[in-house]
Amino acid sequence: MKDGFIKVCAATPDIRVADCGFNVKNITDIMMEQDRQGVKLLVFPELVITGYTCQDLFLQEILLKEAKKGLKTLVEASKDIDALVFAGLPFAWQGKLYNAAAAFQRGKLLGLIPKKYLPNYAEFYEQRHFYAGEDEIQWISLPEFGKERVPFGRNLLFSCKEIEEFCVAAELCEDLWTPVPPSSYHAVNGATVIVNLTASDDNTGKDSYRRELVKNQSARLICGYLYASAGEGESTQDLVFGGHSMICENGAILAEAERFKNGCIVTELDVKRLAGDRRRMTTFHTDGNGKSYETVEFSVSVEDTVLTRKFPQKPFVPSKKEEREKRCEEILTIQALGLKKRMLHTGCKSVVVGISGGLDSTLALLVMAKACDMAGLDRKQIISVTMPCFGTTDRTYHNAVELTKRLGATLLEIPVKEAVDLHFRDIGQDKDVHDVTYENSQARMRTLVLMNVANKNNGFVVGTGDMSELALGWATYNGDHMSMYGVNSSVPKTLVRYLVLYYAQTSEDEKVREILLDVLDTPVSPELLPPENGEIAQKTEDLVGPYELHDFYLYYCLRFGMMPSKIYRLACGAFDGVYEKETIYKWLRTFYYRFFSQQFKRSCLPDGPKVGSVCVSPRGDLRMPSDAVWEIWKQDLETCQPV
């Protein structure tokens, strides 16, 4: 449960219709096994104690008595069970029969939640047997379950004493399929996890609709959603139930059962992440919406949750090829449309870019070509400037020159060595001292050249720096940091690579493809130090750390506001076998130190299009004081320092 991870399970047991004893035994076995696995929330299907397909047998008194007896057996069996358990049964009260979910834990019945929306169509005819449940909570006496009264009603929340973000509410099957599901009210009244006890039959195509329904509800409510469905063992008189259970978190399926096969699906919900998302989403109002709720507290043993869910090494990059290609095309289009608008609005006669032969300037040039095509402008209006200096290598120089020519842009070569040497003389800089002044003077000279070329050609400078560099402050202030429009400013380095690769793979020009693949194979470098034996001497990732690590840190830091210690834990799992824990920790400290100390560079960024959920623009996405200190983040990091 450390860091807000709650191990949860949706279970579909083997059952027999109307055989409560058989069903209760199998439910109990699963309860015991999942408790041994550390599960803290366990959900069974609708009417699981009797079976959903009993039909008019629900009107038989003996079945109702056996169902209540079965529930009592389950509650007693939960005496040493740490998990909060939900199981469905027919529940008779005051002359009415309800389709209900029972919540119990540690030998105590905590509450009963009736189904509100009862289907009344061909295959499901629940209104024949059941009454719709009421919102209002009644506290009822059930002698079989002790002297304390039990809450009965839909507006019921189960809140964990140990983790305030862990708050559970329930709805049943058809409730979800209505225009305004009860879970919508549950969520705005504080529930972060919704459980759905269901018996959804299977027919052709229904699984796709059901999957989207569960995913979308978890996204709309910013919640965890456990959907436990009835399976094999139900009557097949007219229908087949496939046990299509799912566990979702804010629109993402974390676990999904194999259809037509009973069993359990287990994963971990991150309730702190959900709570953080809700704080960020100011339109998500937990104002109760005029509903009156009762809260029942429960306790669980606090322990480290062993994580089984996987966190991708590249969270900005879709793992599936088809989705990744679609994302790349979408991002290139967003970048190009943003630039197109700026070009048409300013009425410029040219757009200027400094082309180095590296990844970022290559992507910027590709975007500029696409923008010109969209605007119906001649690509000759792109002025691609190469500015060789002390660190330029033949490889990057030739790639820059050849790519410019193949794309049909205008090439302009302006060596800046002499200008930088003169500047060194003016400020008294020894050119043999390769310090920060040596490096930044080159970057600022190049920006000066680009700005003046743009003025001379009635144009503006397009920035090339990416979001990863901006997060780390790996940019020369008023050097490559500055432009009139930064097309890459919200694209992380790991995604830059895939965008260039996608362009290469979809290009019809074999020579362009060849150049781009070589650019991808070139080490990332600002090329500000003299080459060694003709090769790049200054490799960025040797100095600030691997970008795949920094992008991982950046995503979970800004997207979810996670604590450094939690990000470290996730990174150790994601990069297990790739980096040592000491390496992960070292670069995480570097990330936080630079992220805080370099905010002043991000506070005055040029305009640029947002392409994803994370951005560092000071005009909306990251409003952060430039003089904030990182002391408490550092202290948290020190708690997880590897020994």
Query: How many other CB atoms sit within 10 Å of the CB of residue 573?
Result: 13
pLDDT at 557 over 90: yes
Is there a catalytic annotation at residue 115?
Answer: yes
Over 80: is that where the pLDDT of 74 sits? yes
d(CA 261, CA 244): 9
Percent of residues, the chain, with pLDDT higher than 90: 88
Distance CA 9, CA 211 (A): 17
Residue tagged active-site, from 115, 215, 340, 601: 115
Q: How far apart are CA 330 and CA 589, in angstroms?
A: 34
**Tens digits of residue pLDDT in 305-353:** 889 999 999 999 999 999 999 999 999 999 999 999 999 999 999 999 9
CA angle (481 as vertex; 479, 484 as ends), nearest 5: 100
Q: pLDDT category, 453, cuts 50, 70, 90?
A: very high
Structure token digits, residue 354: 């400094």
Catalytic residue at 46?
yes
Q: How would you classify residue 190: left for phi > 0, otherwise alpha for psi between -120 and 50, otherwise beta? A: left
User: pLDDT tens for residues 140-176?
Assistant: 999 888 888 999 999 999 999 999 999 999 999 999 9
Has 173 been annotated as catalytic? yes
CA distances from 157 to 195, 263, 291 (A): 11, 27, 12
Set 173, 328, 372, 557: catalytic member: 173
Q: Domains along the chain? A: 2-281 (3.60.110.10), 321-638 (3.40.50.620)
Inter-CA distances, 241 with 192, 203, 213, 506, Å: 28, 9, 18, 45
Residue 424's contacts (CB-CB under 8 Å, 6 or more residues apart) are 430, 431, 438, 441
Q: What is the pLDDT of residues 224-252, one digit of tens each?
A: 999 999 999 999 998 999 999 999 999 99
The pLDDT-based confidence of 290 (bands split at 50, 70, 90) is low
Distance CA(598)–CA(592), nearest Å, equals 10
Q: Kind of pairing, strands 382-386 and 410-413?
A: parallel
pTM, to two decimals: 0.92
| Average pLDDT over all residues of the chain | 95
Angle formed by the axes of helices 417-427 and 436-456, nearest 10°? 120
Long-range pairs for 281-289: beta carbons < 8 A, 24 or more residues apart: 281/222, 284/188, 284/222, 285/188, 286/188, 286/189, 286/190, 287/188, 288/188, 288/189, 289/185, 289/188, 289/189
Nearest to 244 by CA among 295, 184, 199: 199
Distance, in Å, from the CA atom of 199 to the CA atom of 135, rounded to the nearest integer, reads: 22
Cβ atoms of 185 and 289 closer than 8 Å: yes
| Token pair recorded at residue 624 | 């952060």
User: ∠ at Cα 594 (592, 596), nearest 5°?
Assistant: 70
Eight-state DSSP code of residue 625: -
- Average pLDDT of 104-118? 96
d(CA 443, CA 174): 63
* Torsions phi, psi for 25 (to 5 deg): -60, -45
Is residue 396 scored above 90 in pLDDT? Answer: yes
Closest to 39 in 3D by CA, of 183, 190, 255: 255
Q: Is 537's pLDDT higher than 70?
A: no
pLDDT for position 288: 67
pLDDT attached to residue 392: 87
Tell me if 616 sits within 8 A of 622, measured CB to CB: yes
Sequence-distant (6+) residues with CB within 8 A of 201 are 123, 239, 240, 241, 242
Digit-coded pLDDT (tens) for 273-282: 999 999 988 8
Q: How far apart, in whole angstroms, are the C-alpha atoms of residue 213 and residue 251?
A: 10
| Residue 560: partners with Cβ closer than 8 Å, 6 or more residues away | 273, 276, 277
Cα-based angle 488, 330, 216 (whole degrees, multiple of 5): 115
Identified catalytic residue from 7, 9, 20, 46: 46
Q: In what order do the strands lie in the sheet with 382-386?
A: 410-413, 382-386, 350-354, 459-463, 485-486
Q: What CA–CA distances, in Å, run from 39 to 97, 306, 520?
A: 31, 10, 45
The DSSP code sequence of 421-472 is HHHHHHHT--TT--SHHHHHHHHHHHHHHHHHHHHHTTEEEEE---HHHHHH
The pair of structure tokens assigned to 301 is 């043993």
CA atoms of 135 and 191, how far apart (whole Å): 15
Alpha carbon 497 to chain centroid, angstroms = 20
